[in-house]
Chains A and B, each alone.
Chain A
Amino acid sequence: MAKGVLGNDPFQRGAASRDGGSAKPGDGTKEASAGDAKPARKEAARKSAPPAKQPARAKAGGGKTSSAPGKKSAAAKAGGASGGSRDSHAAGDAKVPETAKAGGRKSAASREADEARKSEVAKAGGHKTPAAGGAGPAEAPGRKQGTRAAERKHEAEAAPPHAEQPAALTDDEAALPLREPAAPVSPHSPPPPRQPVLSDELGARTPQQREVDHALAEALAAEVAEATAKVAVDEAMERRPGEEQDVDRLMATEMATEMAEAAVEEVLEHSPSTQHPERERELAAAVAAQVAEAAAEVAVAEVLDRHAVSRRQAFPEEGDEGLEERAANAGEGEEEGFQDTFDLEAEAEGGFGPGEDDEEVPFQDTSGLELSVTLSVTEQGTRETSSLEAEVEAPDATRDEFPPGRRGPLSLVPPPDEGERPREPFFTDQVREPEGPRPLAQRAAGMLSLARDIAGQALASEGLGRALGAMNGLMEAVRAGLGTGGGANIDEYGKDPALVEHLEPVLEFLYSQYWRVSVQGADHVPQGAAILVANHSGALPYDGLVMSLVLSRERPDLREPRWLVEDQVFHAPVLGTLFNRLGAVRACPENALRLLDEQRPLVVFPEGYQALSKPFAERYRLKRFGRGGFVKLALRTGAPIVPVAIVGGEETSPLLGRLPASFLGLPYLPLTPLGPLPLPAKWSVRFGEPIGMEGLPPEAADDLGEVQRLTERTRESIQGMVQSLLRERRSVFAG
């Protein structure tokens, strides 16, 4: 993100070229120190280095700028300068503009060929090996310490001449801390679209509470940061004996603290503070401590760097040294910090637990990660370089390791600008380098967090959330059907209200969008016990489910309805269990009587199983209504009969054929177009006038003639409604 913006910055180009350059010697030195450390002597190296380095550099440069061969020579020259121009400052300075240009192009090219670069760099490193080995490892084993010591010596030497300038410096430094501290984090400022997610989540705690939490956490963090920074700076300063130690110390501490605070603020802004104010505080404190510690190093380096910069007028090479040290230290320090931050993130992620809370963490994660990667690279590259330079203790080799972009201003631009300049490359570095030698695991982690981020955002969107809920419900339904659903709250008929609730999104979709059920005359259903007699339609008994949906939506004042299904459905493995959980009850007089006693509307399909098996051509032609069981039931209980016509069910799952399925305990397996899935036919449900049982004694249930009469009456009523619904229907699917 920041890459594109910064890419236009000339300074950044310089820096970009620098990382290519700095990475090379890093690799090279490593190999060198491993391989041919002993044979190389300083003198010998000095002689052999320039010629050896030059081709290597040229090659590296050529590899990178292969698209623009014209620049090769410039790059090669620049490389040559870096290797061989140590004897004359003038030569090095003169080449600066050229090199800068080359560097700029090179960086553009290298950005395009990021993948190629790695191998190229490795090659270059390999080529450079003898040279680097020659230059570097004169005192190979204790090199690092040696470097440090040498640098400190420089510092000590450099300080006196520069003692008169503190006043001038403070101006720069006053401006510095403001920009410096924010920098490591600011490139990763959160993209705006994430804001809503955050605000959604924060609903749990009021904004005021949140503010208080934040303030508390920040105050705590500030304290921690200051303390840690002080200690860390003291430590850092101890390692660099200098003149204005007190001033530097103060400034460095302040800088580090501010950096830490900025980081904390950043963290807090993204932290999932909803439910865990204490955790937030903990996190803030931890982040503050770590960042402060890490920043102390950078700050000290920065402060000292001021001196170096001012000094550079007189002794440019030493200034470079200081800068370099700063960079190295920054890398080191930050890497430490990062390691911890990363741990912290991991912990935070684990701690903040499941669900949406995780969403926030990833940014932090990514930023920490990116930071870490960049900085570790910087460290790898620069520190090795600096150590190398320190060994050599010669002015120009050192300087040439630096990006031309930075080196240019050294001589050409007046000093006041210097304060800004070295910083820009430093930070652009951070953004530029993530594709560098980032370990695969880290990269994967970065990708993962990004993916999680996106998933989180998607989750936050309502539609997808609903879809996911529906998926969840379906999964549960499948589990219930397979017989592993569990379910702790099931009524004695087998209905699982929790499952129905989970399936609600699916049912709602089916009801209002897929089947577009239209209902007429729902208020014909009387209160209390009622027998709703409907025509069965379709090869799969969805109609019962639809009827229960219709009643629960159109008549919420009624008790929860149940529908009776024939035994065969209950014998079917998955279907029977699932329907049972959704509210189907096996059709038998005992169940029906019990349900009517509970004053529920009871949906029955007197056609029974034969209605499900009638061929498509005979759809909507009502079959014989069994033995009139529902009439007997109505006569016994006095519950009125409500005829109901359902149209659409036949087209939802037309019966195309029957597969033998006796091995499943079923007479046949219906062959439907989409398997168990229904087609999107439009459903119409019409309730007719209730047929009351008034004036008929319960004993009439034994009067077969009476039962027959009522049965036929109901059947005709339903058939009539079905016909009129069919006439009104213009299209099967559109309605």
Chain B
Amino acid sequence: MHRLERDPEVESILVLDVARPEGAKVEFHRVDLTRHDAEGELTDALTERPVDALYHLAFLLGPIRDGSLAHELEVIGTMNVLTAAGRARLPRLVVPSMTAVYGARGNNPALLREESPMQGCPHSRFVTDKVEVEGQVRAFRERHPDLRVLVLRFAPVLGPSVDNPATRFLKRGVVPTLLGFDPLWQALHEEDAARALHLALRADASGEFNIVGRGVLPLSGIIQQAGARPLPLPGPLFRAALHTLDMVGTGTLPVALLDYIHYSWVADGERAESALGFIPYHHVRDAAAALRRS
């Protein structure tokens, strides 16, 4: 947002949100994507003020208490956005996603390319929704081949001002891990993430892109870099405890994380580099260390 504002070539920013942000170039239009008439409103807003690009960033990252609300926002909201964008003939649509959609599986290749199947994570509604959103976007792109639709699959974004499942997981003093497993993780510094979004504004490309930081670290390495200590727990015990906690409803750790701390899910950022010109500045170490400093 601030980066966009600093960009001299950006004349104005139309923000469609439920709350008004600060900024000189900001024009605000209140849209609640969860409402049934959101699509009409969006279309109106977009035709009223034709924009060059639309960032569909309306995703929840906080702890998801209300699964159905999240689902509404993710799936139905995206549906609204896509329809409105199609109606308004938006030249460019940027939808962020995450590398977690590939799913962490034992049979993943060492580096996941964009063509790899999105196996998702059956335990996580969040990831499942994301996979569904990606499916919608892909269908939309096929329907509108003249529009540029970019899907940026971010590795876990870490940074002092980010709050997402990964940062919450790593910000504990002691992070439970699975005994005998130390999967490779990637991470993206928040600055790199913002830069990637900005690059997507002008990139002459379309499709999915893995946006990952430099290098990989084993989970224990990331945990140590983030200033915490890994606590390896035997798998069955950990699994049972987590499921129990989840059932009780005090889920401090999403069950979905089990997959991700079990197997590697390393995405190949090569295409983002060649097509978007995105080269991460920060190593995974720095991203994790930034978490510690915050």
Binding site for B on A (CB under 8 A): 480-494, 496, 567, 570-574, 576-577, 581, 585-586, 588, 590-591, 594, 663-664
Contacts and interface: CB of A to CB of B under 8 A. Distances in A.
A586 B109 contact: yes
A567 B181 contact: no
Contacts of A591: 109-111
A234 to B, nearest CB: 58
Nearest to A573: B180
A401 to B, nearest CB: 63
Interface stretch (B118-126, B193-201, B220-228): B220-228
Given A487-B221, A490-B221, A590-B111, A577 B216 contact: no
Contacts of B232: 482-484
26 contacts: A481-B180, A483-B178, A483-B181, A483-B218, A483-B219, A483-B220, A483-B230, A484-B230, A484-B232, A485-B220, A486-B221, A486-B223, A487-B218, A488-B285, A489-B215, A492-B110, A493-B110, A494-B264, A572-B180, A573-B178, A574-B179, A586-B109, A588-B109, A590-B113, A594-B109, A663-B236
Given A483-B232, A487-B218, A492 B266 contact: yes
A480 B178 CA distance: 12
Contact of A594 (B108, B111, B179, B215): B111
B110 A480 contact: no
A486 B180 contact: no
B107 A567 contact: yes
B182 A485 contact: yes
A513 B184 CA distance: 34
B107 A588 contact: yes
Q: Which of A481, A484, A570, A664 gathers the greatest number of chain B CB atoms within 10 Å?
A: A484
B43 interface: no
A488 B217 contact: yes
Given A490-B217, A570-B263, 7 more contacts: A483-B182, A483-B219, A483-B220, A486-B221, A489-B215, A494-B184, A586-B106
Contact of A482 (B179, B235, B236): B179
A588 to B, nearest CB: 5
Nearest to B177: A483
Nearest to B267: A492
A577 B261 CA distance: 12
Contact of A570 (B106, B113, B224): B106
Contacts of A590: 109-111, 113
Interface string B138-182: 000000000000000000000000000000000000000111111
A496 B215 CA distance: 12
Contacts of A488: 217, 221, 225, 285
A570 B107 CA distance: 9
Interface of B: 106-111, 113, 177-182, 184, 215-221, 223-225, 230, 232, 235-236, 263-264, 266, 285
Contacts of B178: 483, 573
Given A484-B230, A577-B181, A663-B236, A585 B221 contact: no
A666 B2 CA distance: 51
Contacts of A492: 110-111, 184, 215-216, 266
Nearest to A485: B220
B143 to A, nearest CB: 30
Nearest to A590: B109
A490 B184 contact: yes
A398 B238 CA distance: 79
A491 B108 CA distance: 16
Contacts of A494: 110, 184, 216, 218, 264
Contacts of A577: 180-182
Contacts of A576: 180-181
Contacts of B263: 570
Contacts of A588: 107, 109
Contacts of A663: 236
Contacts of B224: 486
A560 to B, nearest CB: 15
A190 B107 CA distance: 63
A571 B106 contact: yes
4 A-B pairs closest in CB distance: A573-B180, A590-B109, A483-B182, A574-B180
Contacts of B111: 492, 590-591, 594
Contacts of B108: 586
Given A483-B230, A586-B107, A590-B111, A573 B179 contact: yes
A483 B110 contact: no
A499 B37 CA distance: 58
A489 B224 CA distance: 13
Nearest to A482: B232
Contacts of A485: 182, 218, 220-221
B180 A585 contact: no
A581 B264 CA distance: 13
Q: Which of B182, B220, B225, B285 gathers the greatest number of chain A CB atoms within 10 Å?
A: B182
Given A480-B182, A482-B232, A490-B218, A586 B110 contact: yes
B116 to A, nearest CB: 8
A663 B223 CA distance: 27
Contacts of A483: 177-182, 218-220, 230, 232
Contacts of B179: 482-483, 573-574
A481 B220 CA distance: 11
B291 to A, nearest CB: 15
A489 B266 CA distance: 15
Contacts of A570: 106, 263
B107 to A, nearest CB: 6
A298 to B, nearest CB: 55
A573 B234 CA distance: 10
B266 A484 contact: no
Nearest to A574: B180
Nearest to B264: A494
B147 to A, nearest CB: 31
B170 to A, nearest CB: 13
Q: Which of B109, B178, B230 gathers the greatest number of chain A CB atoms within 10 Å?
A: B109
A576 B236 CA distance: 17
A574 B182 CA distance: 9
B235 A573 contact: yes
A590 B270 CA distance: 15
A487 B218 CA distance: 7
B68 to A, nearest CB: 33
A591 B182 CA distance: 19
A516 to B, nearest CB: 31
A204 B147 CA distance: 67
B180 A482 contact: yes
B38 to A, nearest CB: 41
A581 B180 CA distance: 12
B216 A484 contact: no
Contacts of A490: 184, 215-218, 221
Q: Which of B107, B181, B217, B232 gathers the greatest number of chain A CB atoms within 10 Å?
A: B181
A63 B262 CA distance: 73
A435 B200 CA distance: 81
A591 B216 CA distance: 16
A480 B182 CA distance: 8
B110 A487 contact: no
A500 B73 CA distance: 48
A381 B174 CA distance: 57
B110 to A, nearest CB: 5
A281 to B, nearest CB: 39
Nearest to A593: B109
Contacts of B223: 486
A34 to B, nearest CB: 54
Contacts of B220: 483-487
A486 B236 CA distance: 23
A492 B270 CA distance: 13
Contacts of B182: 480, 482-485, 577, 581
Nearest to A489: B215
